[in-house]
Structures are given as C-alpha cells and as structure tokens.
Structure 1
Amino acid sequence: MSASPTPPERKVVIPEALRLQLNDFRRQLWRVKILEAVAAGIIGLLFSFLLVFALDRFWQTPGWVRLVILLAGVSLFTVFAPFWLHRWVWRQRREAQLARLIARRYPGLGDRLLGVIELQHQDGNTDTLSPRLREAAMEAVAAETGKRKLDDALPPQRHWRWTAGALALAAVVAVAFIITPRAGWNALERWLMPLSPTERYTFTRLDHPPLKMAVPFGEAFEVDLKLSSDSEQRPDVASGRYGLQPAVGTKRAGDGYRFTFPGQQDPGRIVFRIGDLRHEVSVEPVVRPTMESVEAVLMPPAYLGIPERTVDLNNGVLSAVEGSSFRIKLHANRPLSFGIFGPTLPQTGTEIVGSSANYRPTGGELEISGASATTPDIKVGSVPFEIPVAWTDHLGLNGDAGFRLRVDALRDAVPTCYLQGIDRQKVMLPEETIDFEVLAEDDFGVKETGIEWTGQHTRPSADPVATGELKLADGEPEERRVLRNASFSPGAFGIKPQKITLRGYTGDHFPGRGRVYSEPVVIYVLTRDEHAQMLKGKFDRVLTEFEDLARREQDLLDENQRLERLNGEELQKDENAKRLENQEDAESESTRRMSELTERMESLMKDAARNGDIEKDTLKKMAESLKSMQELSQKDLPKVEEKLSESGEQSNTPEKSEKDVAEAVEQQKKALEKMQEAIAKANEANKKFEAGTFVNRLKKAAGEQDGIASALIESYERVLGLRSSRLDPSDQRRLNETSSQQANTASDIRWLQEDLGHYFARTSTESFKQILDEMRESRIDIGLEEVRNLLAKNHSFTATEDAKKWADKLTAWAKKLEGEKEN
C-alpha cells in the first residue's frame, strides 16, 4: 500500500497592520536617538568651545588643557554618537529586537509579539502546526497591539532637551561672537588648534610687549607697557609683581603704563596684570655694557707728512693739531646693537676768543660690528670739544650715560731755536773758532735748522758787511728735537774784523711760516791790535784787584801779629778767641778772592797766547806771575787759614794756641812776600804790555782814518757837490756815522797822548817822549776835529785828503815806536 502524500508548506507572515505598526515604532525610535546623538555631539563641541572661551578670559589656557577639552568635546561626536546609534539604531533594526524593547514597557504584549515574530520564521506543516492556528494567533496579537500606543514603549526621549541645550549653547556662542567677535574667533582658533602658538585674546591688549628683557644689575629699572590701538579696554590702574616680591602698582598715563622696580640681582619673572591681561616678562639682571678699550685713528694734516697712527684713549683725552681728522674705535665687552656720538660740545673756558660762536657741532650713528663701534671721520678745528658717546648692547642695555671723550685742538706752534754752549757776547780773532750746539724744537716736526750771521762795521769801511748762513740739518717728519754741533770761524767765511750778530734758525712744516730765530749772540771780531788792547784793559783790572788784595792781606798780617804778642792764656779768652775767628773768616775770604783772580789770570793768559802779536817776554812775565798766584790760592793762603783755625780750637792748651798763632804769622809773612813778588812780575809784564798797546792803538787809529777815507771815496759819485740837506737819507746816515767815528778817533788820540805822558813819567823811555812831542807839535787832535767838521758840511773831498794825511802820520809813529821797541 502506497504512502500518503505530504501536504505542501505554507508561508505565514505577520499581519500587515502589525508590521506597519512596528515600522512606525522603529522609525520613531531611530529619529529620536539620531537626534539625541547629533544634539549630544553638538553640545559637546559647543560646550568645549565655550569652556575654552571662558577659560581664556581668565588665564592663558595651556595647550594641553585646550587639547583635552577639544578631545572631550569631539568625543561626543566620535565616541558617544556612534555608541548611541549602535545601541538604538543598529541593534533595534529587527522586529524581534523591537519586541524585546516593547517588552520593557509592556511585558505581556512584548512577549506575545516576540512569539508571533518567532512563529513567522517557524518552519512546519499541517501536522506539526496548523497554519491556520498560527495566523489566528498573529491576528490576535496584532489586534491587541493595534489597541496599544507603542510610542509609550519608546525609551526615555531626551532629544528635545538635548536639542534645546544645543540651541542654547549655540545661542550663547552666537552672542559671544556678536558681542566680542575678536575674542570669539581667537577662542575658535585656539580651540580648533590647541597646540598652535596663537595667543589668547584679551580685551586689554598691549602694543608689542616684551617677553624677555635684561635690566641693569642691582639698579632700579623701569618697564614701559603701551596699550595697543585696538585694545577694547583701557584700565586706569595696572600692577606688576617681580617673583614673590610685593606688587608694584601704577596708573595709566595716556596710552601707557610705567612700572618702576627696585634693583635686582637674581633672574626672575614679572607678572603684569592689566584688566583681563596677564603678561609675563622674563628678567635677567646684567651688568651694563662697558668699553674695554677706546682708541683713535689719527690722521694729521697732509703738510706734516706724518702717517696716520692709532692713539690709546683710555684716559679719555685726544690731542690733535688743527686740521687733523680722526675716527674713534670702541671695543665693548659684549656685542652692540646701536650707538651714537655727539652732538659735540665746545669746551668751556677755551682760550680761543670768538671761535666758539662759529663752532659747528657734529654727531651721528656709530658703525656697529659685533662688539666694536666706529665713528665716521671727525675734523679737528681750532676749538677744543667734547664728544658724548652712548651705546646699547644686544640685550637692550645702555652704557654709561656720562661717557665723553675730550679732543684738545692744538695749534701748530712756532718752533724754537737755541744756541747752547756759547756766551751771549763773545770777543774773538778772525782765525779763532767757537764751538757750540744748535737746538731746534717743534711740536710736530722740525723742517730744517742752521745758523745765520749778519755783520756791522764798528767803524767806517768800504768793505761790505758780512752776511751768510749755514744749514746744519734737514729734519724728518715727527723729528721734534734736532740737536747739532756747530762751529763758527770768521776767517773760514772770509769775515773781516767787525761786529757779528750770530743766530740759529729753524723752520717747521706749517705752510707760509718763515724762519724762527734764536736769541742773537753778538761776536766782536777784532784785529790783533784791538784784541791786545782789550786784554790790556783786563790785565789792568786784574792787577789792580791783586794789589788791593795784597794790601788787605797786609792788614790781616798786622792784626795777626798783634795776636801773636798775647800769651796762651790770653789767646783763649773769649774776646781774643772771637778775634781769631774773625781773622780766620777774613783769611778764608782772601783765599776765595785769590782763587777768583787766579782763574781770571789763567783766562787772560790763554787769550794773550792766542793773540800772536804780544811779545814772548811779556807772556813769560805773565806766566811767572800766574804761577805765584796759583801757589798762593792753592797752598800758601790756605795754610794760613788752617793755622788760624787750629789756634782757635777749644781743646787746645795755651801753649798749642800760642804756637799755632806764631806759625800762622810766619806762613802769612811768606805768603805776603810771594804776593809782592807776583805783583812786581805782573807790573813788569803790564809795562811791556802797555808799551805794545801804544803801537796797536796808533795802528788802530790809522786804520780808522783809512776806513773813513775809503768810505768817502766810495760815496763820491752820490754825495760830491751836494748840500747835506739834499743828500739821500741813506747817504746822510752813513755820513753821520762816519762823523761819529771821526769824533771817537779824535777822543782816542787825546787819551793816547795822555797815556804816553803817564807812561814816560813812570818809565823815562825817551822814544815814547819823542812820539808824544811830535804828536803835540802836529796838533793832531785839532786836525782830526777839523775832519769831523768837514764831514758835517759834506766837504767829502777835503775830508778824505785830511783823513789820509793823518792816517799816514799815525802809521809812521806806530812804525817808529815799534822799531824802538824791537831795539
């Protein structure tokens, strides 16, 4: 028997009404929860932004805090929203999931719905579960569900509140942007980019406030803060606190605040509070920048030929000649950022009258290179001035405010010249040589130095006066002192006897400045006759003083002899001891005068030996007298003084004092004898000297008459036939000089005749008497006076003839006297 056939399967689905009702429930659930997720995300974002906005109003919210806030706000979108959607959307998409959700509110209904939904997916046939019964069950559940409001089974709905919260936060954000758009945008930027360096916005804003600053070590300092032009608030007061020190308050002045803090030595931070602004400045106390060295590159004027040089200015003073230029180099102890010099100031109390009014100051910026600063070239005028210099280092610290350099403007002074080692007046023979030194000095360099001489006739002569010069050295630039040895010999330069004015000269490099001369040295170049006559005068004075000294020594001897008559006890009495002391002092003075006369005699002897025309016998007698004078000054008189000193010693016995006085008298007698002998020798030499000078004096007078005649002959062309009033001034002057010389010659001849008379009276030498008689018979003194009168009237020809006549007569007398002297 065959098996019965299996009835076909029949698909059973939930009623359409129930399915539609469940779809509505699911859409409602999804809509609410999606709204809640979106609202929560928006709330998170808006709240985190507002939190940053609010925190920025009170402090500089750190980046990491802003990052945490941003992550927390974004997490509602990135974490909470997906979680929320997964829970209420993804996990509530099937009918069974919805039935379980409904079962939380309606347990019975929910279970039945869950059973119906399960029946829908149950597989079977009519034998196991009647399709009809399943449909009936579903219809029953659908009917019951239709009577219920499934929206009541939805989980708690917060979307309205959350949406309202989001809208409220959005409104707050909008208000913030409307009221303070700059703060809003700034907070938005800082919120979106928490790790960016964007500064927080404050209603009080500063114009480029410092973040770091260096202040003077241990000195009170000021900090200036200026409000920015776009600052929305301008508080009247502000405060600043250095570390934990008491706060320093200040009031607004215009658009700025000035804080004064006490000196600091340790680094720290200043916190400024101005309105909602909190600004911090790092402070480092640093010693002010100082100059380690200051130097000047000095460029002297071109005419000096001196190269530029570097001058140390650590003493703060530069001395420079007018026309120089210089630049200053300063080297600081750390890098510089800025520096200025000037304006220069003329020094007060300057001796340059009127120049300060025309003084033009100069100034400008220094050229900075690291720790060095340099001025441009500065010109030196005639006025001394000061240069204020100020500098700022790379830290912003200023240097010493009182730093100044002084520039002393020096005039290129006139050089100086000196002749050293020579007397201001000198007498010499033409063939002699004098040696001396020429010293030339200049403050910036001697150009040249030498000697120059000019002559002047002491009596009329047709010969030209002597002129000449001798360059000794050319100076080098910066050679400020030139010392050269010089020798001058009249004969070597062809100079005949006359008065010579000798001067040293020098010159410097100053443009247009001529020579500068030393004090003049007057040299009388004499003929041998004039020289001998001069020596005779000196010899007379020495001899006179020697004779006076001998008389004085005789007086001292008389007093010593009176003391010699006293015994020893009487010599030691106070009054006699005083007499001995006075005698000792007087003898000491005699010794001194004897030494002085000896020195003068030695000099006279040297000059006489140079003359050459003085007789050897005269020189011999002078030498013998000099030898005696030397012994007197060195031995004899000092011995007398010594014995007198010993006789007055308090430790002496009466016998010793008496003996010393006796020895002193004995020594003094010998000394006086030697003095008389020396005087006799000197007198003998003087007589010979005097006899020789008569010849020389006659020759001199003859030469003067010849000179007058020669001078008149030279001027014949210009003066003959003219009255004195019509003569040229120069010729008139020369004629007057010739007339004066003629008067002097006439006077010399009168004295010569008188000296011849005295000499004959002393010596009874017949030859001198004959010459004197011939001179008197010739009436030469009247003849010479007549020549002078002719010169006064410009009777030059007659005066010339008479002068030549008297010159011949004088020459003849000199030869005759010279011949007698040789015989």
Structure 2
Amino acid sequence: MPESLSSQLRGFQRKLRAIESATAVAIAFCIMAAAFTFLYISDRAWDTPVILRFILFLCGIVPVIYLVFYTIYHVFMKRRDFKTLSILVQKHHKRLGDSLLGVVELSENNELSENVSKELCSAAIANIAERSRSMDFCEAINRRALRRFMAWSLAMAVLITCIVIFTKPAFSNALSRWLNPFSSVERFTFVKINGIPKQMTVPHGEEFEIRCSLDKASSIKPLSIKYRCGQEPARLAALGQDVTVLKISGQTKPVNLKVWSGDFSRNVRINPVHRPVLLSLEADVKLPEYTGRAPLKTKVSGKTFNVLEGSRYSFEGKADRELKSAELADSSGKTASLKVKGATFSTDVFNVAFSEKNHIIWKDTNDLKPLHDFEYSVLPEKDQEPFTECPKLPLYSAMLADETLIIQASAEDDYGVSEIGASYSSADPRNEMKIYATGTMKLAKGGPEKTKVDAEFMFCPRLMRIPEQSLVTICSTATDYFPDRKEVLSRQYKIYVLSLQEHAKLLEEELDSIMGKFEDLIWREEENLEKNKNISKLPENEMKKDETGEKISEQKEGEKANSEDLEKLSEKGMKLLEEALRNKEFPAKSIKEWSKMLSTAKELSQKDMKNVEKKLDNALNEDKRREEMEKAVKEQQELLEKLKELMKKMDDSLNNLTMENFVTRLNKEAENERNIASKLGDIMKTSVGMEQNLLPEKIKNDITEQKIKQERIKKAVKNIQDNILGFFSRTRIKKYQDVSEEMEKEKIQNKLEETVGTIARNQTAKGISNTQEIAKKLEKWAKDLGQKGNEKSSSGEGEGEMKPIDPEIMVGLLRLIQQEQELREQTRTLDENKAVLPDYGEKATGLSEKQMGMRKELGDLKEKAAEFQKLAAMMAAAQKAMTDAGAFLFKPQTDQETIAAETEVIELLTSSFQEASEMSGEGGAGMMSLMQMMMQGQGTKPGGFKGSISSNAANTKTGGPDFKGQMSEKKSDRTAGKNAKALPEEYKDAIESYFRRVNSVDRNNNR
C-alpha cells in the first residue's frame, strides 16, 4: 500500500479514536451528573431512602464503568484494521466505491494468482491512492453523538456549577450521600430544626412535649412548624424567637409523629412505655451488738423508716425493668449515685441518724423516671422498755383464799424478751402501806428472736400464806437485752381475798335475787291463769273467733317464756350452789334444801309448764277449744299451787340461811374481840409501868393496829345490828326482835366506841376486860339466834323409817369432788411449767399439803357416816387414793402417774356420793343434779372453773354493765346482810363481780 494512503487511513483511525473517546466521556459525565442531580432534587423533597440512594449510585457508576471498559477495549485494545477503516471511509466517500477496500485487500495479499499481473495491481493501487489524496477521510467520522452529549454535558456542568455556587453545603451533602449511599449522613435542608429525635420512648398514656428550635445555620427561617401524630389532625406550632414546643397527647400504642417545615421533614417513632415502677425496697439493717440478732432485711414502705439507734443500714431496691441509673438526694439537695445492676440498685452503708425528705430517683434505659420519687425520712428509734401484762386478769377482782388461779402473763419487746416473771405483795386493804408478804418468781426465759413470751403461774392465797381480807397486788415483770436496764413491771392488778363470811353473805344475796325473780314469775303465771279463765268462759260464738285463737296463741307463748325463765333460774341457782360448795361455812342443810327446790323448779318447767303449753296449743283447734282450755286452766291452777309451795320453802330456807349468816358473823366478831384481848395481853406484858409517851415505836404501832381492828369490829357489829332489825321488820320473828332490843339496851355501840378509846390510851387491862365482855355478849346473841324458832319445815322423820343420811356428808363429798377436780388441773398446769418454775418443788409440796388436808376432811366425813358401812368403806378407799396422790406430789412428782391417782380419787368420791344419794332417797335427787352439773366442768382449766377469776370479770372496778343490770332487777324486800363491811368502793364492786362471773362462766365455757 502506498505510504500516502496508509498515512491517510492512520490519521482517520486516530481521529475516530479521539471522537469516540470524547463521546464516551460526555456520556459518562451526563449519566453521573443526572444520577447526582436526581438525588440532590430528591433530598430537597424528602429524606431519600438508602435503597433509592443506592440505586442512584449504581445508575451513575455502573454505566460509566461499562463505558470505560468498552472504550478501552474497543477503541484502544481492539484496534480497527485498514479493511474496517476503508469500509467506514467508503460509506462517506461513495465515489471510491469498493476500490479503496480492493486496494487494501490487494496490498495485503502477497500471493496473486498466475493470471493476475503484479504491474496492473500496482498501477491500480497507485491510481486509487492518487484519487484518495484529495479526499479527507476524517469527514467520514459521525460527530452528531459527540455534539449531542457534549451539549448535555455542558448543560449538566452549568447546572452543577450553579448548584455548587448557590448551594454548596447542599451539593457537598448530596455528593457525600450519593457516593456513600449507606452512610448515616443526614440530608441537608435549608430549614434546620434542632431537638427532634428519630424516635422517642414516652410515658404510657401521658401527654408529652418536644422542645425544638431553629438552627442558626438554617438558610430559611419559617414562621411555624407543622406536626401530626398518627391519625390525629395536623397541628401548627409557631416559632416565636426561633423556639417552640410541640405538645403531643398521651399515646397508648406505638405511633409515628411527622414534623415538617419547608424542606425539613422528619418522622419520629413514638413508643409509649409505662414509667419504671419500684417493686420493692428493702433495708439491710445490722442491729447493735447487744441485741444478739443477725442482720435483718426489712421492707421499707411509707414515708418513714424507723430503725433502732446504733444500727447501720443500707437500701436495696428492685424496679420492674433494667435501670440506667439511680441516685440518692438528701434534704440539702446533695446527690450521690447508687450502684445499679440490671433492675436493682443499692446504696452505701449508713449509720443511723435523723434525716428527713430524702429522695431516691431512678431512671430506666429509656431515660424514663418515675412520676414521683420515693421520699423517706430516717427516724432513729430508742429501744423502748418491754411491755408486760396479765391479759386475762381484771384490774380489780376477788377470790377465795382456797381458790387457785392460773394467771397468764405476757411480755413483748421489739428486740427480744430476755425473761418474764411475776411479783406479788399482800397488804391491808385499808392501809396498803402495811405489807403482809411479798414474793417474786421467774416464769420463762426468752431469747433475742422472741419478741413475745407467754407464761402461766399458779396463785393460791392459802398456799402462799396470804390471809383472808387481804389486798393482793400482782405484777408481771419483764427484762430485755438493753444494757443496764432494770426489770420492768406491768400495771398493778388488785385481788381482794374474800373471807368465808363475805362469800356466804354474797351467796345469800344471790339466792335472794333468784327468789325475787321466782316471785315475779309466779305473779306472771297468776296473770296468765286469769286470762286463760276468762277465755275458757267465753260464749260459744266468741270462743270460735279468730281473735280468740290469737289470744290463746299469745297465752301459749307467755307460758313458753315462763317455762324457759324458770329453767334458767334453776340452772343459775345450781351454779350458785356449786359455788357454795367452796365455802365450808355455808350450811350443808341449805345446800341440800336449795338443790332439791331447784331440781323441783326445773322439773316443773320441763313437765308441768310444758303440759299447760301443750293444752293451750291443742286449744287452737276450734272443735276442742273449750275442752282444752278448761284442762289448761285446771293444770295451771295445780302448777301455781306447786310454785307457791316451792316459794314458801325457798323463803323458809332463806330465813334459816340468814339466821346462820347472823350467827356466823356474830361468832366471827366475837373471835376477833378475843384475838384483840390476847394481843393486848402481850402488849401489857412488855409495856407495864411505862408512860404512854415513852412507849417504844413497835408497841405504839401494835396499839394503833389493835385500835384500827376494834374500829372495824364496831362498824361490822353496827351493820349486823341494823341487818337484824331490818330482818325482823320483814319476818316478824320474835327472837330477832329480842336480840335487836337487847343489843340496843346493852348500848353495844357505845361499849365498842369506849373500847376503841381505851385501846388508844393504852389502858390495856381495861381494854382486855371490855373486849372479853363484848365477845361474851356477841356469842350469847349468836346462840340466841341459833335456837330453833323460825324453822318452818314441812317434813319430819317418821317412826320406823330409815334414818336419813346427814346432809353434811353429801355436801362434804361434793366439796371434795370439786376441790379434787381443781387440784388435778393445778397439777397439770404445774407439770407443764415445771421447767421454768424455780419453786416447782415448793408448789408441789403445797399441793401435797392441800391433798392431805382434803384427806383429813374425808376422814371427818367418814366418822359421821360410820353407821353406813358400805359408804364408810368407799370413803376409806378414796382416803387411800388421796394418800397415794399426796405422796406423789410430795416427791415432787406431777406427771401422768400423779394425775391418774387424782382421777382415781375423783371416781371414788363420785361413787361415794352416788351411794349417799341413793341412801338419801328423794332428798338426794337435787344433790345428784348439782353433782352432774359440776361434773360437766371437769375439763375446764383452772381460772375458768365456776367461781374462779376469769376474763368475764373484766372492768370489775365499776361492776360492769351486765352486773349493774342484774342488780337493778326486782328483788324481795329482804334486808339481812345487805351492808358490806367498810371497804374501798372498787373492792365492793370487785366482790360483787365475783358472782357476776360465776353466773356468766357457763356462757364463756360454751363459747
């Protein structure tokens, strides 16, 4: 190929390569600029998503990469040969036809056929080369694509240049987001608002706010911001001073919040969450060493945290979710960070000191705080004294000297009771400074962890050598573990020890009350009888009226009420007789008489009255009304006769009982006078010849004591004298008039007053003479009253009949059964508490002495029953069992073997009583009823048995509402024994309450 033609083709080739490369560059620039510009424009409208940014990135980069590789490969690596170039040239220079291609082929073909001349070929080539010399092969290149894409490139360049010039930050931001589509670079906006997060965790259901402001770098400053939460209507918030607050209503479920202004737009994900709740707050408290307690955990609730002085403490709290932080702020505002682990936080260890209005604040991982901080104050507590009491013992009460009371003691202390005990003292009730005896006892050990300790102890005045008519003060005691603290005493419980005479007088008054109610019942029964008579006499036409039936029904109910009242009266009377068994000075004959009368009353209520009630019920039938009413009237008349006869017997028996009471009281005061005479004799021996002002202090005190005793006798005799006169006024029995007139004639009160002065002046000889003279007169009057003259018994012994058994034997056996039951319960209690009673042996010995004393009483009864051989033999067997029981107690031994021996005694005594009752015939029926009622109380604990002090005697200082109600009920006009001896008022009420609880103890047992 000629050099000129070859050179022309090579030039064409270079020019074509340049044009194609420029076109590729222009296309690439356009593509990239278009992708970037689209992102730029998109970012102005919204926050272009990452996926779209990635697509735009691919649209801009992938074609460019393709063009680069395509251009390099096709333009530079895979070069066009002369044939290809000649074809391109021929398309433009059509004059050449195919000659240029033929020249290229001839020049490249080294082997020609034989019939082709080389010279002709060379000439043809030269000819074509010459023709081509005038042609510009570069005109064959197509420049339209280059010009088009160059125009687009220029336009894009101008656009981008403008963007760079006018919105350089936006350009840089868009370029960065385009080149790195997965970056977290936020889009550039001309409106910039600060304070709006991408998501928020807010309190559940509570209104919340977003405080936002216009950024200083904001190119555009709008006047307001729009926002919409979920499906709620859009709201507008004005940008005053470039600041505003978006107020959003409470949300209960996740929702999107859209905020926009100008080109600024943001979606905020709102997640409502309940505020963090404090599930528990515990204090780890280390108490002072003296308490002996291990560290303890205490739940803290409320606004105060009370903790013992000298302790150390720390708090540990637990929330309902994981926490981010927690802090403690005191009242001064000083804060301290707390240790946080998961959902728990803990404080440092603090010494106990007063502080108030401390705050614990916690924050969860969502930066939510509780609605209210936990506020508390630390209040150091002093270790208070232990509290001790006898919970079931009334403040004022009374008991017999032979009774044994099981007293419950209780002690409480917040930091452990060390020991519980009891103390007692007995004194003169009119002068509590005069102490007869004192004692203390340790009941039970406690422990650091025992905040309450209960114990029981037995109290028996007789065993403790406490005399009758003494005032006993009992206190429970307690100690705790506080260093050097003295023993703490409970409040004082006062027990008045009744004398047998006081007890008998009260029994008489209670029986008198029963008789008064019995009299009222008879009056009501008479009234019912009159109404029944009137109904039975009605004409036939009125008899069958409905109104008559209603009247009969009312009468039936009235009879039923009377029956129930009579049965209750008999039961109440039996309980009083059971109480009377405790008193050896209460006449056995009266117990037997009253038991028989009360049994009869109960039988009348259960049979005769029920028969009348049944007849009245039958009378409700119109056909048999008159006949049944007549039968009812007849039976009611017979019933009334029996009731009146029973009332007369009660009155006679009560008169005899009153007489016995007068005799006992007069003899008792006579005995007291002789005791004073004996004491004056002792004083005279040591003070003879001394002047009164020179007497030793001890003798002066003895004289004063005897003077006080004489004054008491004077008051007691005055009461007896008034009672005798009052009794005569009611009964008109002559011997009471004689004794009353003789006492007035002898001017006994003046004599007693004179004796008081004589003793006060230490005229001992005259005092002895006076007291002995007064004692003789009192004994004489007691003897006069004791003579027969007011007995109105309707029965007597007949010739040839079996000699009836002495009532003293039957009553004595009942008393022994009752005492043995109580002794058995006391033995059980003593055995249960022997581990904590230091005087266990002494108490067991006391019970042994009591058992042997009962054995002696049984021996006396056996002598009275000597003529009844079988009964005497049974009593002897009971005596032997008593000896065994007494021996066990003396060891001391209070276990099951001893209790079994005491049970055998009860069984043998019961058999003896049953034998005596059978021998007594009808007279023993009432006594058997009394025994059966008494045996029902075998299982009651000491302190709850009939007549013993129980919780029913509470508030005895005022008698209690129940007691006052009983005393206000109608009584008969008996006056004997109604004036108690001069005692402090609260003890009069206490003595009266003694019988109130006797009457109510059965209700307590039933409960």
Query: TM-score, normalising length from structure 2?
Result: 0.55
Q: Distance in 2 between matches of 1:258 and 1:522?
A: 78
Look up the match of 1:356: none
State which structure, 1 or 2, has the greater radius of gyration over its C-alpha atoms: 1
Look up the match of 1:537: 505
Asked if residue 57 in structure 1 is aligned to residue 40 in structure 2, the reply is yes
| 2:497 pairs with one of 522, 525, 528 | 525
Asked if residue 499 in structure 1 is aligned to residue 471 in structure 2, the reply is yes
Q: Is the 8 A contact 1:640 1:665 kept in 2?
A: no
Cα distance 1:784–1:13, how it changes in 2: closer, same or farther (>3 A)? closer
Look up the match of 1:693: 665
Asked if residue 603 in structure 1 is aligned to residue 612 in structure 2, the reply is no
Asked if residue 672 in structure 1 is aligned to residue 644 in structure 2, the reply is yes
Amino acid at match of 1:323: V
Q: Distance in 2 between matches of 1:179 and 1:525?
A: 117
What's the CA shift for 1:661?
3.4
What's the CA shift for 1:214?
6.8
What's the CA shift for 1:406?
11
Secondary structure of 1:420's aligned partner: coil
Look up the match of 1:467: 438
Q: Is the 8 A contact 2:40 2:174 kept in 1?
A: no
Q: Is the 8 A contact 2:237 2:244 kept in 1?
A: no
Look up the match of 2:959: none
Q: Distance in 2 between matches of 1:460 and 1:802?
A: 27
Q: Distance in 1 between matches of 2:70 and 2:534?
A: 151
Deviations 1:217-258 (A, max 9, x none): 999987777766655445445556789998776555636774
Look up the match of 2:170: 183
Q: Is the 8 A contact 1:44 1:74 kept in 2?
A: no
Gapped regions of structure 1 (runs ≥ 5): 1-11, 345-358, 791-797
Instruction: Report % sequence identity.
Output: 17
Q: Distance in 2 between matches of 1:479 and 1:562?
A: 70
Q: How does 1:768-807 map to 2 (within 5 A)?
A: 779-788=751-760, 790=761, 798=762
| 1:322 pairs with one of 300, 306, 327 | 306
Asked if residue 631 in structure 1 is aligned to residue 599 in structure 2, the reply is yes
Asked if residue 744 in structure 1 is aligned to residue 728 in structure 2, the reply is no
Deviations 1:48-97 (A, max 9, x none): 4432332222322421231121222344444346645679xx558x8996
What's the CA shift for 1:191?
4.6
Look up the match of 2:64: 73
Of stretches 241-250 and 497-506 in structure 1, the one that deviates more from structure 2 is: 241-250
Q: Is the 8 A contact 1:304 1:510 kept in 2?
A: no
Q: How does 1:303-702 map to 2 (within 5 A)?
A: 308=296, 322-323=306-307, 330=318, 332=320, 336=322, 338=324, 372-374=343-345, 376=347, 392=364, 396=366, 417-420=389-392, 424-429=396-401, 431-438=402-409, 450-458=421-429, 464-474=435-445, 484-497=455-468, 498-504=470-476, 515=488, 517=490, 521-526=493-498, 531-538=499-506, 541=509, 569=537, 592=565, 596=569, 599=572, 603=576, 606-607=579-580, 609-612=581-584, 614=585, 619-636=587-604, 641-642=609-610, 645=613, 649=619, 651=621, 654=626, 656-702=628-674
Amino acid at match of 2:496: Y
Asked if residue 43 in structure 1 is aligned to residue 26 in structure 2, the reply is yes
Q: How does 1:136-285 map to 2 (within 5 A)?
A: 155=141, 173-193=160-180, 200-204=187-191, 231-237=218-224, 252=239, 254=242, 258=246, 260=248, 274-277=261-264, 279=266
RMSD, aligned α-carbons: 7.0
Cα distance 1:422–1:581, how it changes in 2: closer, same or farther (>3 A)? same
Aligned residues: 744
What's the CA shift for 1:632?
3.9
Q: Distance in 2 between matches of 1:112 and 1:599?
A: 157
What's the CA shift for 1:426?
0.7
Q: Distance in 2 between matches of 1:308 and 1:591?
A: 61
Q: Distance in 1 between matches of 2:443 and 2:422?
A: 7
Deviations 1:614-652 (A, max 9, x none): 3xxx73322232233313421247666456656764556
Q: Is the 8 A contact 2:577 2:591 kept in 1?
A: no
Deviations 1:451-502 (A, max 9, x none): 4434331367997343344444455677676654442112333434421133
Secondary structure of 1:493's aligned partner: coil
Q: How does 1:687-726 map to 2 (within 5 A)?
A: 687-703=659-675, 721=693
Look up the match of 2:282: 297
Q: Is the 8 A contact 1:204 1:275 kept in 2?
A: yes
Q: Is the 8 A contact 1:709 1:804 kept in 2?
A: yes
Q: Is the 8 A contact 1:218 1:264 kept in 2?
A: yes
Secondary structure of 2:60's aligned partner: helix
Cα distance 1:811–1:236, how it changes in 2: closer, same or farther (>3 A)? same
Query: TM-score, normalising length from structure 1?
Result: 0.64
Secondary structure of 2:472's aligned partner: strand
Amino acid at match of 1:603: L
Q: Distance in 2 between matches of 1:280 and 1:149?
A: 68
Cα distance 1:585–1:290, how it changes in 2: closer, same or farther (>3 A)? same
Of stretches 618-627 and 401-410 in structure 1, the one that deviates more from structure 2 is: 401-410
Secondary structure of 2:41's aligned partner: coil
Amino acid at match of 2:754: I
Q: Distance in 2 between matches of 1:555 and 1:281?
A: 97
Q: Is the 8 A contact 1:415 1:508 kept in 2?
A: no
Q: Is the 8 A contact 1:456 1:466 kept in 2?
A: yes
Structure having greater relative contact order (Cα 8 Å, sep ≥ 6): 2
Gapped regions of structure 2 (runs ≥ 5): 43-47, 788-1007
Cα distance 1:362–1:782, how it changes in 2: closer, same or farther (>3 A)? farther
Q: Distance in 1 between matches of 2:30 and 2:369?
A: 54
Amino acid at match of 1:79: Y
Secondary structure of 2:506's aligned partner: helix
Q: Is the 8 A contact 2:315 2:347 kept in 1?
A: yes
Q: Distance in 2 between matches of 1:708 and 1:178?
A: 139
Amino acid at match of 1:43: A
Look up the match of 2:921: none
Amino acid at match of 1:517: S
Q: Is the 8 A contact 1:63 1:195 kept in 2?
A: yes
Q: Distance in 2 between matches of 1:420 and 1:402?
A: 47
Amino acid at match of 2:26: I
Secondary structure of 1:432's aligned partner: coil
What's the CA shift for 1:696?
1.4
Q: Distance in 1 between matches of 2:408 and 2:591?
A: 33
Q: Distance in 1 between matches of 2:523 and 2:355?
A: 72
Q: Distance in 2 between matches of 1:141 and 1:562?
A: 174
Cα distance 1:801–1:483, how it changes in 2: closer, same or farther (>3 A)? farther
Of stretches 293-302 and 115-124 in structure 1, the one that deviates more from structure 2 is: 115-124
Q: Is the 8 A contact 2:417 2:481 kept in 1?
A: yes
Q: Distance in 2 between matches of 1:134 and 1:217?
A: 100
Cα distance 1:323–1:362, how it changes in 2: closer, same or farther (>3 A)? farther
